[in-house]
């Protein structure tokens, strides 16, 4: 299998291409799908100090040397580039240097907060061909710690988005999963007040401990749309949320997933 691949199924909504540099994570999100997707025991996935995939930089060099990839590559679906990796994310730096040299557009989605800022200079060199996003789940720090015990705090993630945005980096926020709608809506309000996010991508919680069945998704989507349209923000509503709230009318790029990619 190629190191740069086309995500299948629901993952395709995130990006036309993806690349996973680590296959483990220190963020310990309760809802993480990765161990199941990789048919691994959680103990083999949630570890301290994940190592980069063996030979990944050599593989990337070969793949990028063969074909020019012009579609956005997302880092990453498995693992998080800016969790507490064994190499302090040095392999991410090397991969980004390669993507930059080969003019490959990149999106990075992380819950690592300020850990990504060690690569800020490199992000700047991409210009408009990179976007950096944070998954925003809970505004309440105690809830965030309960659900994503190894990830950065909400305040750290929000401050990092602001720093990135102030440095001219295109930013996005991913609201998936939505576990408590009011928490997600408050995070949207805070990022709007900060003017720190360029694009919002909003989904829902799916099939997790029955919690998703207790949520009024129509009410959540109505409030989301009102908030984001009112702030004149670009946003994309994911398929599962649209399907759970079909009475809410959406238009144009609000339902076009590739509209918000970088090129
Ligand atoms: S950050 Fe992503 S890969 Fe890491 S534990 Fe959380 S959901 Fe899983």
At residue 216, the pLDDT reads 98
**Ligand 1 in contact with 111 (CB < 6 A)?**
yes
At residue 142, the pLDDT reads 98
At residue 124, the pLDDT reads 98
Q: Write the residue with the smallest CA distance to atom 8 of ligand 1.
A: 32
Structure tokens at 241: 């949320």
The percentage of residues in the chain with a pLDDT greater than 90, rounded to a whole number, is: 98
Reported as a single tens digit per residue, the pLDDT across 212-251 is 999 999 999 999 999 999 999 999 999 999 999 999 999 9
At residue 145, the pLDDT reads 98
Q: Are 202 and 235 in contact (CB under 8 A)?
A: yes
User: Ligand 1 centre from 230 Cα, in Å?
Assistant: 31
Could you give all domains of the chain from N- to C-terminal order, each with its CATH number?
A: 4-260 (3.20.20.70)
User: How does residue 94 score in pLDDT terms, banded at 50, 70 and 90?
Assistant: very high
pLDDT at residue 1 above 80?
no
At residue 100, the pLDDT reads 98
**Ligand 1 in contact with 113 (CB < 6 A)?**
no
Q: Write the residue with the smallest CA distance to atom 7 of ligand 1.
A: 32
User: Ligand 1 centre from 11 Cα, in Å?
Assistant: 14
pLDDT at residue 137 above 80?
yes
Predicted structure pTM score:
0.97
**Ligand 1 in contact with 34 (CB < 6 A)?**
yes
CA-based torsion, 123, 127, 133, 139: positive or negative: positive
Can you tell me the distance from the alpha carbon of 205 to that of 202, in angstroms, rounded to the nearest whole number?
Answer: 10
E strand segments, 6-71: 17-19
User: Ligand 1 centre from 28 Cα, in Å?
Assistant: 6
Reported as a single tens digit per residue, the pLDDT across 164-215 is 999 999 999 999 999 999 999 999 999 999 999 999 999 999 999 999 999 9
At residue 101, the pLDDT reads 98
Closest atom of ligand 1 to 110 CA is 1
Q: Are 153 and 182 in contact (CB under 8 A)?
A: no
Phi and psi angles of residue 60, each rounded to the nearest 5 degrees, phi first: -60, -40
At residue 223, the pLDDT reads 98
Can you tell me the distance from the alpha carbon of 180 to that of 107, in angstroms, rounded to the nearest whole number?
Answer: 26
Rg (CA), the chain: 18
pLDDT at residue 85 above 90?
yes
Q: Write the residue with the smallest CA distance to atom 3 of ligand 1.
A: 79
State mean pLDDT over 90-108.
98
The percentage of residues in the chain with a pLDDT greater than 70, rounded to a whole number, is: 100
At how many degrees (to 10) do helices 56-66 and 90-101 cross? 10
**Ligand 1 in contact with 25 (CB < 6 A)?**
yes
State mean pLDDT over 67-87.
97
User: How does residue 55 score in pLDDT terms, banded at 50, 70 and 90?
Assistant: very high
Closest atom of ligand 1 to 25 CA is 4
User: Ligand 1 centre from 245 Cα, in Å?
Assistant: 27
At residue 186, the pLDDT reads 98
């Amino acid at each position: 299998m190629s190191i740069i691949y086309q995500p299948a199924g629901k993952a395709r909504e995130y990006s036309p291409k993806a690349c996973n540099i680590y296959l483990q994570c220190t963020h310990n999100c309760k809802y993480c799908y990765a161990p199941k997707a990789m048919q691994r025991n959680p103990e083999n996935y949630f570890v301290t100090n994940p190592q980069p995939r063996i030979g990944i930089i050599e593989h990337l060099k070969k793949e990028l040397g063969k074909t020019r990839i012009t579609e956005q590559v997302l880092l990453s679906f498995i693992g998080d580039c800016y969790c507490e990796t064994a190499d302090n994310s040095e392999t991410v730096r090397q991969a980004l240097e390669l993507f930059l040299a080969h003019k490959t557009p990149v999106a990075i989605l992380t819950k690592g907060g300020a850990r990504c800022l060690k690569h800020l200079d490199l992000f700047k060199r991409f210009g408009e061909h990179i976007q950096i996003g944070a998954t925003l789940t809970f505004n309440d720090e105690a809830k965030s710690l309960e659900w994503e015990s190894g990830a950065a705090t909400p305040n750290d993630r929000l401050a990092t988005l602001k720093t990135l945005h102030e440095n001219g980096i295109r930013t996005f926020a991913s609201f998936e999963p939505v576990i408590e709608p009011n928490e997600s809506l408050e995070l949207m309000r805070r990022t709007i007040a900060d003017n720190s996010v360029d694009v919002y991508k909003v989904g829902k919680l799916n099939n997790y401990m029955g919690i998703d069945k207790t949520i009024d998704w129509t009410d959540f989507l109505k409030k989301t749309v009102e908030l984001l349209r009112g702030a004149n923000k670009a946003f994309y509503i994911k398929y599962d949320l649209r399907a759970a709230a079909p009475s809410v009318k959406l238009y144009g790029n609000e339902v076009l997933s590739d509209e918000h990619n970088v090129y």
